[in-house]
Amino acid sequence: MSDDRPGSTDDEGSRPEQSRYDQARYVRNGRYEPLLIEKDSTRVEIGDDSPLPEELTRDDLELPAPSEPELVRHYTRLSQMIYGIDSGPYPLGSCTMKYNPKFTEDVAALPSGLVHPDRSDESIQGTLEVLARLQEYLGRIGGMDAVTLQPPAGAAGEFVGIRVATAYHEHNGEGHRDEVIVPESAHGTNFATAALGGYDVVSLPSDEKGRVNIEALEAALSENTAALMLTNPNTLGLFERDISEIAEMVHDAGGLLYYDGANLNALLGRARPGDMGFDVMHYNVHKTFATPHGGGGPGAGPVGVVEELAPYLPEPRVRESGGGYELFSPEHSIGHVHGYQGNWLVLLKAFAYIARLGDEGLTDSSAKAVLNANYLASQIEYDVPYGPFHHEFVASAGDQDAADVAKRMLDYGVHPPTTKWPEIVPEALMTEPTEIESKETLDQLAAGFNAVAKEDDEALEAAPERTTARRIDQTSAARNPRLSWHALEEK
306 within 8 A of 284, measured Cβ to Cβ: no
CB of 192 to ligand PLP, least distance (A): 10
38 within 8 A of 50, measured Cβ to Cβ: no
Instruction: Considering only residues 200 through 229, tell me which ones interact with ligand PLP, judged by CB under 6 A.
Output: none
Closest CA to 259 of 236, 290, 227: 227
* Helix orientation angle between 344-379 and 439-453, rounded to the nearest 10 degrees: 60
β-pairing verdict for 225-230 and 256-261:
parallel
Name which of 301 and 413 has its Cβ closer to ligand PLP.
301
Instruction: Considering only residues 419 through 478, tell me which ones interact with ligand PLP, judged by CB under 6 A.
Output: none
Question: At 98, which amino acid appears?
Answer: K
CB of 284 to ligand PLP, least distance (A): 5
CB of 158 to ligand PLP, least distance (A): 6
Which stretch, 124-132, 148-156, 204-212, 451-459, contacts ligand PLP (CB under 6 A)?
148-156
435 within 8 A of 372, measured Cβ to Cβ: yes
Name which of 296 and 481 has its Cβ closer to ligand PLP.
296
CB of 425 to ligand PLP, least distance (A): 16
Name which of 182 and 469 has its Cβ closer to ligand PLP.
182
Name which of 277 and 301 has its Cβ closer to ligand PLP.
301
97, 128, 138, 155: which one contacts ligand PLP (CB under 6 A)?
Answer: 155
**What distance in Å separates the CA atoms of residue 14 and residue 473, rounded to the nearest whole number?**
18
Closest CA to 197 of 181, 182, 184, 180: 180
90, 91, 94, 148: which one contacts ligand PLP (CB under 6 A)?
Answer: 94
139, 142, 143, 154: which one contacts ligand PLP (CB under 6 A)?
Answer: 154
Helix, strand, or coil (residue 294): coil
What would the DSSP string read from start to end of 326-337? EEE--TT----S
Q: Where are the beta strands (DSSP E) in 54-172?
A: 60-64, 146-148
Which residue's Cβ lies closest to ligand PLP? Answer: 154
The alpha carbon of 336 is separated from its chain's Cα centroid by a whole number of angstroms, namely 22
Name which of 175 and 295 has its Cβ closer to ligand PLP.
295
Instruction: Considering only residues 159 through 188, tell me which ones interact with ligand PLP, judged by CB under 6 A.
Output: 187
Per-residue x/- marks for ligand PLP, 257-276, CB under 6 A? ---x-x--------------
Size of the residue set binding ligand PLP (CB under 6 A) = 17
The residues near 254 (Cβ < 8 Å, ≥ 6 apart) are 174, 177, 223, 225
Name which of 11 and 184 has its Cβ closer to ligand PLP.
184
**What distance in Å separates the CA atoms of residue 79 and residue 29, rounded to the nearest whole number?**
20
CB of 356 to ligand PLP, least distance (A): 22
127, 189, 291, 372: which one contacts ligand PLP (CB under 6 A)?
Answer: 189
Per-residue CA distances from 284 to 291, 391, 490 (Å): 9, 14, 41
Name which of 296 and 426 has its Cβ closer to ligand PLP.
296
Closest CA to 79 of 26, 43, 122: 26
Q: Where are the beta strands (DSSP E) in 262-316?
A: 280-283, 303-305
The alpha carbon of 193 is separated from its chain's Cα centroid by a whole number of angstroms, namely 15
Query: Do you find a cis peptide bond into 433, omega within 30 degrees of 0?
Result: no
Per-residue x/- marks for ligand PLP, 282-301, CB under 6 A? --x--x------xxx--x-x
Name which of 117 and 295 has its Cβ closer to ligand PLP.
295
CB of 85 to ligand PLP, least distance (A): 15
CB of 79 to ligand PLP, least distance (A): 24
CA end-to-end distance (rounded Å), the chain: 19
Does residue 238 bind ligand PLP (CB under 6 A)? no
96 within 8 A of 415, measured Cβ to Cβ: no
Residue 192, Cβ density class (10 Å: 0-12 exposed, 13-18 middle, ≥19 buried): middle
CB of 225 to ligand PLP, least distance (A): 21
Which stretch, 35-43, 150-158, 404-412, 456-464, contacts ligand PLP (CB under 6 A)?
150-158
Name which of 325 and 389 has its Cβ closer to ligand PLP.
389
**What distance in Å separates the CA atoms of residue 156 and residue 149, rounded to the nearest whole number?**
11
Name which of 231 and 341 has its Cβ closer to ligand PLP.
231
Does residue 95 bind ligand PLP (CB under 6 A)? yes
CB of 350 to ligand PLP, least distance (A): 12
Question: Across the strands, what pairs with 318?
Answer: 327
135, 231, 232, 365: which one contacts ligand PLP (CB under 6 A)?
Answer: 231
Phi, psi of 396 (to 5 degrees): -115, 130
Catalog residues that contact ligand PLP under the rule CB under 6 A: 94-95, 153-155, 187, 189, 231, 260, 262, 284, 287, 294-296, 299, 301
